[in-house]
Amino acid sequence: MVAGVGGVSAPGRVLIDRRRIAGRVDAMASEIEREYKSCRDAVLFVPVLDGALLFAADLIRRLSLPLQLAGLAASSYPGAATTSTGQVELGLFRVDVQGRRVLLLDDILDTGQTLATVKEALRQRGALEVRSAVLLRKQRETPPVVEADFVGFEVPDCFVIGYGLDHDGRYRELPDVRVLDQDNMI
Ligand code: IMP
Ligand code: MG
């Protein structure tokens, strides 16, 4: 444990610090803007909650595009688990996506089950196009079942927290991405 922000201690070691995150989110915003600048209708940005909250908040403030925002809750990690159950539960989503271009935002791409499930659900509701942007992509032995269209950083196959990512609901507020070691797991 080391001292963190506001006197609260933050576990693990920093993997990607806040300055690198800010620089990469800037660059991703430029890439995304280039991709969508010719779209006449507002792009629907769908952050996968709760993990994508910080990434989405920082990314959309850097964009100069007509856009709308609608979060969708998804979860596959019960409690203190550090591996996905493979079963993704989606929350209520009442937004009409018929004929819309959608950009999903997520904190991390691991097995890909979350993005695959959300993509399929939105396509079934008539979305014209569903693409995705993730801040992190885990370098796994088995590749994810779907790839993301925009990726911030490749990270090793370990459990990370901070900048939206949690362990058992904690540490989302930490400004840097950190690796959570065994000692700090519940
Ligand atoms: P996937 O469905 O296996 O791709 O996992 C994606 C979701 O699992 C993400 O939206 C995260 O919420 C969560 N997740 C995956 N890896 C980590 C991690 O290392 N730390 C925290 N959450 C993770
Ligand atoms: Mg998530």
CB-based neighbours (< 5 A) of ligand 2, an ion: 51
Cβ 180 under 6 angstroms from ligand 1: no
Structure tokens that stand for 20 in this block: 């690198």
SS3 107: strand
d(CA 157, CA 159): 7
> In this structure, are strands 43-49 and 101-109 parallel, antiparallel, or unpaired?
parallel
Say yes or no: domain 18-178 is CATH 3.30.450.20.
no
Give the residue ranges of DSSP H helices in 65-124: 113-124
Give me ligand 2 centre to Cα 10, in Å: 20
| Ligand nearest the Cα atom of residue 169 | 1
Tokens of 68: 């709308």
Q: What are the sequence ranges of the domains in the chain?
A: 18-178
Cis amide bond preceding 50, omega within 30: yes
Q: What is the pLDDT of residues 86-132, one digit of tens each?
A: 789 999 888 999 999 999 999 999 999 999 999 999 999 999 999 99
Name the pTM for this structure: 0.92
Residue 59 alpha carbon to ligand 1 centre in Å:
19
Spatial contact of 133 and 34, defined as CB atoms under 8 Å apart: no
Nearest to 124 by CA among 93, 88, 149: 93
> Which ligand has the shortest distance to the CA of 78?
1
Atom number of ligand 1 nearest to Cα 52? 10
Q: Give the model confidence (pLDDT) of 44-85 as tens digits.
A: 999 999 999 999 999 999 999 999 999 999 988 666 777 777
Amino acid 122 reads L
Instruction: Judge if the beta carbon of residue 48 lies within 6 A of ligand 1.
Output: yes
